Amino acid sequence: MTACTAMFRHLFPAILLLMTFSMLSCGREQPEQRVDTARSNVQEELGEHFGKPVFIRIIKEDYLLELWIREPDGNWDILKTYEIAGMSGDIGPKTREGDEQAPEGFYRVYPHAMNPRSSYHLSFNIGYPNKYDKSLKRTGSWIMVHGSDVSIGCFAMTDPGIEEIYTLVNEAFKTGFPSVPVQVYPFRMTADRMEEEKDNKHYDFWLHLLPGWNYTEENKAPYPDNDTE
């Protein structure tokens, strides 16, 4: 046995322990690194908007997510519109666990809902069921806006898309804003479209959402809902 071989056999347990510790450390750091990397990726294009209040409006039929920003003058503007890459179900609310429907209604994201450990790159929980959903005995949980391009009951925005959305929501929290509104509509709720849907079984529920849609269209601002807790 050579001196080098003997030394390696002597040091091998220590090397293995160090490798194991390093792997575990990397695993613990991965979520934070993922968030930091996402922030770095979008800094050049969107950095000037970091820390501003954010509002998200989703239009299911159009497969669109609008990301609104409040400017220092108090006005809200649509910063970017994203195509939803994956969403299951049809127009109409989510009513029960496992129905594969994406919800409709007025929700809020809070800092604890941010998930950097998501299996879909990054994600955040929109807060379904809200107070109104619970009053109707609707069930379900973990409805997320996340990365990837597939989803059942959630909203998949692709990895580059969620990096932008997640970062702007996260940066708003960093500057002290307590929550981010997420308002989900079945379609563009114009008078003509509502008339077309008057025989739909969800029509009465959509009348509940209509003031929110009209408020944002008229005031260019998020609806001050009272459905959330």
26 a catalytic residue: no
Q: Residue 101 has which token pair?
A: 């429907």
Nearest to 102 by CA among 121, 83, 87: 87
Q: Say which of 4, 26, 154, 208 is annotated catalytic.
A: 154
Reduced DSSP (H G I as helix, E B as strand, rest coil) percent helix, strand, coil of the chain, to 5: 40, 20, 40
154 a catalytic residue: yes
CA distance 189 to 150: 26
Distance of alpha carbon 123 from its chain centroid, rounded?
A: 5
Q: Say which of 4, 112, 121, 146 is annotated catalytic.
A: 146
Largest CA distance in the chain: 88
Phi and psi, residue 89, nearest 5° = 85, -160
Are 109 and 127 in contact by the 8 Å Cβ rule? The answer is yes
Phi-psi region of 143 (alpha: psi -120 to 50; beta: other; left: phi over 0): beta
DSSP result, 90-156: -SS---STTS-PPP-EEEEE-GGGEETT-TTSSEEE---S-HHHHHTT------EEESSS--SSSEE
Q: Which residues are catalytic?
A: 146, 154
